[in-house]
Amino acid sequence: MNSSSTYSATQDKLGQRSRTRFLILAMVFIVTTVNYADRATLSITGPAMRQEFGFSDLQMGYMFSAFSWAYVLAQIPGGWLLDRFGARRMYAASIFAWSFFTLLQSTLGTVALFGSVASVLFIMRFCVGLSESPAFPANAKVVAAWFPKTERGIATAMFNSAQYCAAVVFTPLMAWMVHAIGWHHVYIWLGSFGILLSAAWLMVVKSPIRHPKISEAELAHIRDGGGVVEMDEAVTKTDKGTKGQTWNYVKQLLSNRMLLGVYLGQYCLSVMTYFFLTWFPVYLVQARGMSILKAGFVASLPAICGFIGGILGGLISDTMVKKGYSLTAARKTPIVAGLLLSSSIVICNYVDVEWMIIALMALAFFGKGVGALGWAVMSDTAPFQAMGLAGSIFNLFGNIAGIVTPIAIGYIVYETKSFNGALIFVGANAFVAAFSYLVIVGKIDRLKLKDE
């Protein structure tokens, strides 16, 4: 075959661009949806379990926070494991482990015969948090590998919006289970489904350069657009000496002003996330007098708006990049606008009409969705040699809010006998997050680390 015909054959092959990256994104979306559903189980089953076991507001606050204590503590080790062993294998192990501990919570009544019910539940929730710790850094790593810069905003928005999909799909389903067949079944069905999902993940997800369904054209599209296509292969090629760099990298990541601003913004944004995952259904039942079943369905309405906002924020950001705006402007514009809009949650303190409360909550969660592009920023800024570690530190800061928020709201409600202060607490954090991105973050660009 002469050179011209070889060139022609190559062009033909390159012209057939596959869409395998969207299959990978769909898998990431499904796994993240189940991830958030497992986190939110206690917020739905909590009122029924509280009635059965007699938990106080303070006990509920601490049990809501148990997940995040473990989640935060395991972030840096989880990030190191991702960089050392790869996102594919570590994520599969993570899915299996958190699903197993979710399933185990269905036995709470029996296991609690050997100790305090609250203590046993705290430990089980702690184990779920420990197991889920690699999830979001792995998501960011997979998106950075499979998507070019111009598509990364919408890809990140898709997996980040899974939290709202979890509320839309699973919250009403879990509420129905609690109402119709008992809270135990929530844990049985979700845990069993997750264990099956861990096997599906291993079958579907691989690095771009090794995936059998990817075409040369799609691989070139991803690579030329800045995708880190050697997702896990780069890990296996890393020599053992890299381990000694871990704390050197941590110091550099924590001393960078841009990343510190991103970390603070994620912490403040996550305050609203954890209000939604923990106290929101309780707020609807206790403060607004709804039944558990009604609260489960009503909670899905703001979630739908949050999902729409999340997709819109990603589309706006990617469109701005394609139109020639700087990456900094394209990421910051929807983030800041969305965060300011989400502070409207405070207005709920001044209205009593049920539909207006739901509408304001929907508006706040729509704004939160638009502004939830922190993981896109991490995919854009994380240094190549420590992407898992950088994502884990980012996730650590975000999920410190998972410790602080449930306990803080528990104390506020316990001391004031009202949720008004809790909503002010959530709204104020949205303002701080907007300030952080506007003033502290500065230019958004990929960080370069120095080896020792």
Q: Which residues contact 334 (CB under 8 A, 6 or more apart)?
A: 312, 313, 316, 317, 370, 371, 373
pLDDT tens digits for range 354-406: 888 888 988 998 999 899 888 788 878 888 777 777 877 888 888 888 788 88
Amino acid at 411: Y
Q: Residue 4 has what pLDDT?
A: 36
pLDDT tens digits for range 84-98: 788 788 899 999 999
Question: What value does the mean pLDDT of the chain take?
Answer: 81
Q: Residue 233 has what pLDDT?
A: 60
The two three-digit tokens of residue 81, written as one number? 């494991």
pLDDT tens digits for range 210-247: 888 888 888 888 888 777 667 666 554 444 445 556 67
The two three-digit tokens of residue 331, written as one number? 């990421």
pTM here is 0.69
CB of 126 within 8 A of CB of 67?
yes
pLDDT band at 333 (very low <50, low <70, confident <90, very high): very high
pLDDT tens digits for range 33-73: 999 888 878 878 877 887 777 777 777 777 777 887 888 88
Question: Cα 236–228–259 angle (5° rounding)?
Answer: 100
pLDDT band at 139 (very low <50, low <70, confident <90, very high): confident
The two three-digit tokens of residue 201, written as one number? 């993940």
Sorted by where each starts, the structural domains of the chain and their CATH numbers stand as 20-226+242-440 (1.20.1250.20)
CB of 198 within 8 A of CB of 95?
yes
For the chain, the maximum distance between any two Cα atoms, rounded to a whole number of angstroms, is: 83
Element (H, E) at 359: helix 354-371
Using the predicted structure, report yes or no on whether residue 9 has a pLDDT greater than 50: no
Helix axes of 387-416 and 420-435: crossing angle, nearest 10 degrees: 150
Instruction: Give the mean pLDDT of 270-276.
Output: 86
